[in-house]
Amino acid sequence: MPFRAVLALLLLSLCACKPPEGSHPKAIIGALLIDGAGGPPLSNSVVVVSDDRIRAAGARSNVEIPAEADKIDGSAKFVVPLLVDICDSAAPPGLIHPANPEEARAQVAELAARKVGAIHFGQTDRATVEAALEAARAAGIPVTGHVSTQAGARLLVDNGASSLVGMIRDTEELDAAFVARLRDLRIVIAPALANAGSSLEVARRNTRRLFQAGVPLAVASEGGDPIHEAELLVEAGVPPLDAIVAATHNGAMALGQLEQRGTIEAGKRADLLLLSANPGEDIRNLRRVVLRMVAGEWVR
């Protein structure tokens, strides 16, 4: 066989054996792990990442560290999931403003054709709400309702909204049966407290009441700062560790993405923060970012 042919075959075999780009694993070793699922913080942890996935996460004594992994010293550091903002814009792509049932059906049909992930809808009259949510159900698109009143929240939930942005601010006499329904249906509510305006104190108190009743909370910045929303949850009376669950696990649950992200566990996408101070003690420490990972890659 000619020398050039032999050389070409040798190079081809070497290329075939080379691992794909981005497959080199990473291991964060020794950090305190706050997994986002609500479990107790785990000291001296190991998180192993390969490609864009978490391959293992747990106690250092139980997790094998690949010999070839890039090893990141997590000593005196804290690892948490990347925050999930369920409404990160004041005008999300799925927002509709129908004036009547016919417009509601037409706008939902347009969004369905564009394959949006969720419809955002503020309460209007009953007939329009019913038409919009019926069309969304038929199209298989979840609806996030934007609320400020108890009647509006009830109307949206009665018609199938799967999550709510905003907090009830027109009354502090929350209907116990409605609150129990929110809890039992696992309707996630993101209070969006930064946008509560002059009704902030009422919104805070109702946020605390819903949390104490077991209604799952999340964060929605509506174009603002999701960490500030987590801070406002704590100011409203939500413990820091529960605010982290709200800002990670519950946000992913509200978006129907919990199988992919929102917690640090094997199989999930590797989206996480490495922090220099403990957010479980002070939620403001979510700002103390040492490293940020998105889909398995360190980013600025």
Q: Which pLDDT belongs to residue 71? A: 96
Pick the closest to residue 243 from 273, 285, 272 (CA basis): 285
* 176 phi and psi angles, rounded to 5 deg: -60, -40
Query: Per residue of the chain (300 residues), what is the pLDDT tens digit?
Result: 554 554 454 444 444 444 444 568 999 999 999 999 999 999 999 999 999 999 999 999 999 999 999 999 999 999 999 999 999 999 999 999 999 999 999 999 999 999 998 999 987 789 999 999 999 999 999 999 999 999 999 999 999 999 999 999 999 999 999 999 999 999 999 999 999 999 999 999 999 999 999 999 999 999 999 999 999 999 999 999 999 999 999 999 999 999 999 999 999 999 999 999 999 999 999 999 999 999 999 997
Q: Which pLDDT belongs to residue 124? A: 72
Is 194 within 8 Å of 229 (Cβ atoms)? yes
Q: Domain boundaries in the chain? A: 19-82+263-299, 95-254
Pick the closest to residue 81 from 3, 141, 28, 158 (CA basis): 28
Distance CA 61, CA 175 (A): 49
Is 28 within 8 Å of 47 (Cβ atoms)? yes
Provide CATH code, domain 95-254. 3.20.20.140
Q: Which pLDDT belongs to residue 23? A: 60
Maximum Cα–Cα distance for the chain, whole Å? Answer: 88
Asked, colleague to colleague, whether 19-82+263-299 and 95-254 share their fold, the answer is no
Provide CATH code, domain 19-82+263-299. 2.30.40.10
pTM of the model: 0.90
